[in-house]
Amino acid sequence: MNKIVECVPNFSEGRDKEKLERIVDEVRKQEGVKLLDYSMDKDHNRSVVTFVGEPDMVIEAAFNACKKAAELIDLRTHKGEHPRMGATDVIPLIPIKNITMQECVEYSKKLAKRIGEELNIPVILYEKSASRPEREDLAVIRKGEFEGMFEKLKQEEFKPDFGPDQPHESAGVTAVGARMPLIAFNVNLNTNNLDIAKKIAKAVRGKSGGFKYCKALGFELKERNIVQVSMNMVDYTKTPLYRVFQVIENEANRYGVSVVGSEIVGLVPLNALVDTADYFLKLEDFSYDRVLENKIYGD
């Protein structure tokens, strides 16, 4: 591959494996694209798929997966812990090799135009692709979720960039954009008190006075009878995982609960883990260059 783009679409289906496999098959069969990872979450009722490839091939795979999701997912009957507004809720493009962020922005517009025109699904551009400042933040766009989009899209500030001016009756609305690598990082607590998770999420969330590059919500994990602080780390180089983890641990102690584990959904840049190991192990004079795999495989 000369130019490499990563694509990490999120689909509003985390309970029916057969449906997800049919969506993922659209990526598997695309020439010039490599499927890296996909995962399901029953509580969130959401799936995250990660693949890379040459830009045009990535766009084709993303479009076909979105089309299949629209055929299989009906948001009128969808319930889950995670906020959602579309069968294909969001499609981010991330520059990986020999491609600029601005190029990814242009590719995101190309993809959004196809989804809007060919699938009749309204698309709002977000993050680096946003057509106006208030659309940069996905949480702002998605507020109100699928059920609220029928009124929301009537507002001038949320008029879709592509496609019809009202949500698709079953597939809703999709956000498409270019962004930096994002880490989906969740921390689980040994309590079923959702209020505690929400208070801790508020403490670390950038918008409520926490870490600038951290988005956080509190969720129930009903199958495990515990709660979770679920986060999107939008720039791990400026807000590292270990710093947020420590604050969550400290806040949990205040409420008499503890952290029982954490998880990363999808893939994570190696440097984010190296930084965490460096911090907690108090390594001296350590750098990424001393990682064995880095020496073997290089760039």
| CB neighbours of residue 76 within 10 Å | 9
Dihedral angle of Cα 14, 142, 266, 275, to the nearest 10 degrees: -150
Q: Residue 299: its pLDDT value, please? A: 54
Could you tell me the CA-to-CA distances from 114 to 40, 45, 67, 108, 120 in Å, in that order? 27, 26, 10, 10, 9
- For residue 212, name the pLDDT band (cuts at 50, 70, 90): very high
User: What domains are defined for the chain?
Assistant: 4-178 (3.30.990.10), 183-297 (3.30.70.670)
The contacts of residue 8 (CB under 8 Å, 6+ apart) are 48, 49, 50, 91, 92, 94, 182, 266
Report the range of poorest mean pLDDT among 95-104, 236-245, 284-293.
Answer: 284-293
Is 82 annotated as catalytic? yes
Predicted TM-score (pTM) of the model is 0.79
Q: Can you state the angle between helices 194-204 and 241-254, rounded to 10 degrees?
A: 140
Q: What confidence tier does 173 reach under pLDDT thresholds 50, 70, 90?
A: very high
C-alpha span between 273 and 223 (Å, rounded): 28
Query: Could you give phi then psi for residue 108, rounded to 5 degrees?
Result: -65, -35
Decide if pLDDT at 250 tops 90.
yes
Torsion-angle region of residue 123: left (phi > 0), alpha (psi -120 to 50) or beta? beta
pLDDT, tens digit (0-9, with 9 covering 90-100), for 56-79:
999 999 999 999 999 999 999 999
The residue from 44, 78, 82, 168 that is catalytic is 82
Strand partners, 176: 91, 125
Gyration radius (Cα) of the chain, Å: 19
Identify the three-state secondary structure at position 108.
helix
Distance, in Å, from the CA atom of 183 to the CA atom of 267, rounded to the nearest integer, reads 7
30, 61 contact by CB (below 8 A): yes
C-alpha–C-alpha distance, residues 23 and 150, integer Å = 26
Between CA 162 and CA 170 the distance in angstroms is: 18
Burial of 209 from C-beta contacts in 10 A (0-12 / 13-18 / 19+): exposed
Question: What's the pLDDT at 289?
Answer: 81
How far apart CA 104 and CA 249 sit, in angstroms, is 37
Give the number of other CB atoms < 10 A from CB of residue 164.
15
Note the pLDDT tens digit of each residue in 36-49.
999 999 988 999 99
Maximum Cα–Cα distance across the chain: 57
Lowest-confidence segment of 118-122, 135-139, 162-166 by average pLDDT? 135-139
